[in-house]
Structure 1
């Protein structure tokens, strides 16, 4: 989400050389049916990411106008009551000007900062659903790596887009986990297209199509935000997230059924390479900006 300046486990993931699930591997359909049973140990990375987002919001909440709006007999509007620009900057939101001024850490911290209660509730609902679907395929550390890498990619594309096409937005603030969530969606679209997974193709295709629909519909809805002057959906961050997720998934597919160690080794190489490419992209943006 963008705030304008004016308003400012799975231990074994894939079967080793076989067509049956390895110990600890859980098919997405199974994860879906068991979601009613709260078990953080079954998806530690998903619940850790959710907990960090909630903790940051909890630290920020004493400065939120939401309680005052609620007490003024407008409970519905309380969910849309946003933090001040000063508070968002204080807690790590992204501003292109600040990032290019040397505060690169904001590319990571902003993925854990949310603008209002409605913002965090919708994002964490999506993160929960996609995380429980993706963690069995990526592993806990893999999911966290994808969250951070695609979140950074989303914000970098957002900054580049503003510099090239919307210079007036250079000082706008943006924050939220949605770029990273779209990144998880992007990599899932690729991984769930692998027919060699020990999961019936009908189930895989159903999950893949659901994730694809989520990404397409929400990208389309993001375009509607151009009609609002104060708060806008940062669609360029969403696009950067989903595109980087798609790209991360492509080199992982050939190793998904080659055994756990080979798959994890490929993950490390791909994620390290992605971090390097993002560093180069950030350097290019700093030169252009």
Structure 2
């Protein structure tokens, strides 16, 4: 039984991947993607610069990567997840959740992460994409395929977070914040032309995203101010 109005072409996924690759090439050309000064110039997140008023560093790191292996892994993950998820939830919903999850992930890193660390990468957004499948599983509880997808991505989130705890140089707070943003927005925005949760629950979910984002920004400003 088909429960979704599918938009078969993952235009947004491919566009985001293309932008990410172009940005990485620029990083490489102007000094190297692993060079601190290059990353700062391109908009990587450091908490003290965000606290100083450079709020755009909560957004720009989504498209930056540190080293070839970093962009390779995130690029393949974006392509895989995007080609599954974008046709289900639609182009604009996918784009909105991808970008907002990236920002909520960077906000969590700003609020709870190390002040002197530098952060970059699409993984904040990707964890948001993983969490959307959990929201879909909560909405379509009778659909075995969606339930199994939700279980698979829940396991993926848990395994990755456990790995984050054992590895240095990984921004675990960014991943947690991205997943939280994706879960709430995934439930709030739902899917096009299909059964949706009650409007009040959707409104609460979306309001919660903004409330949590404000809290994390305020906390970061207090901690590092």
User: TM-score normalised to the size of structure 2?
Assistant: 0.85
Residue of structure 2 equivalent to 1:104? 55
RMSD of aligned Cα (Å): 2.9
Q: Secondary structure at the match of 2:6?
A: coil
Given that 2:88 and 2:191 are in contact with CA atoms closer than 8 Å, whether structure 1 keeps it comes out as no
Structure 2, unmatched stretches of 5+, are none
1:172 is displaced (CA, Å) by 1.6
Residue of structure 1 equivalent to 2:24? 57
Q: Which structure has the highest helix share of the two?
A: 2
1:276 is displaced (CA, Å) by 6.0
Residue 241 (1) aligns with residue 178 (2): yes
Residue of structure 2 equivalent to 1:223? 165
CA distance in 2, matches of 1:194, 1:270: 13
Residue of structure 2 equivalent to 1:11? none
Residue of structure 2 equivalent to 1:121? 72
Q: Secondary structure at the match of 2:139?
A: coil
Given that 1:142 and 1:267 are in contact with CA atoms closer than 8 Å, whether structure 2 keeps it comes out as no
1:244 is displaced (CA, Å) by 2.0
Aligned length: 222
Question: Relative to 1, partners in 2 of residues 1:154 and 1:96: Cα closer, same or farther, differing over 3 Å?
Answer: same
Residue of structure 1 equivalent to 2:153? 211
CA distance in 1, matches of 2:120, 2:111: 16
Structure 1, unmatched stretches of 5+, are 1-18, 32-41, 66-81, 163-168, 227-231
1:130 is displaced (CA, Å) by 1.4
1:186 is displaced (CA, Å) by 0.9
CA distance in 1, matches of 2:206, 2:92: 11
Question: Relative to 1, partners in 2 of residues 1:124 and 1:62: Cα closer, same or farther, differing over 3 Å?
Answer: same
Task: Identify the match of residue 179 of structure 1 among 109, 119, 124.
Answer: 124
1:91 is displaced (CA, Å) by 0.6
Task: Identify the match of residue 194 of structure 2 among 227, 234, 257.
Answer: 257
Question: Relative to 1, partners in 2 of residues 1:268 and 1:54: Cα closer, same or farther, differing over 3 Å?
Answer: farther
Q: Secondary structure at the match of 1:192?
A: helix
Q: Secondary structure at the match of 1:238?
A: helix
User: TM-score normalised to the size of structure 1?
Assistant: 0.68
CA distance in 2, matches of 1:256, 1:270: 19
Given that 1:93 and 1:175 are in contact with CA atoms closer than 8 Å, whether structure 2 keeps it comes out as yes
Q: Which has the larger radius of gyration?
A: 1
Residue of structure 2 equivalent to 1:149? 100
Encode CA deviations 1:163-216: one digit per residue, 9 max, x unaligned: xxxxxx31221100001100111122111343368xxx3322222222122211
Residue of structure 2 equivalent to 1:93? 44
CA distance in 1, matches of 2:155, 2:71: 21
Encode CA deviations 1:7-30: one digit per residue, 9 max, x unaligned: xxxxxxxxxxxx7546x526xxxx
Encode CA deviations 1:203-241: one digit per residue, 9 max, x unaligned: 222222221222111111111114xxxxx1111111111
Given that 1:149 and 1:275 are in contact with CA atoms closer than 8 Å, whether structure 2 keeps it comes out as no
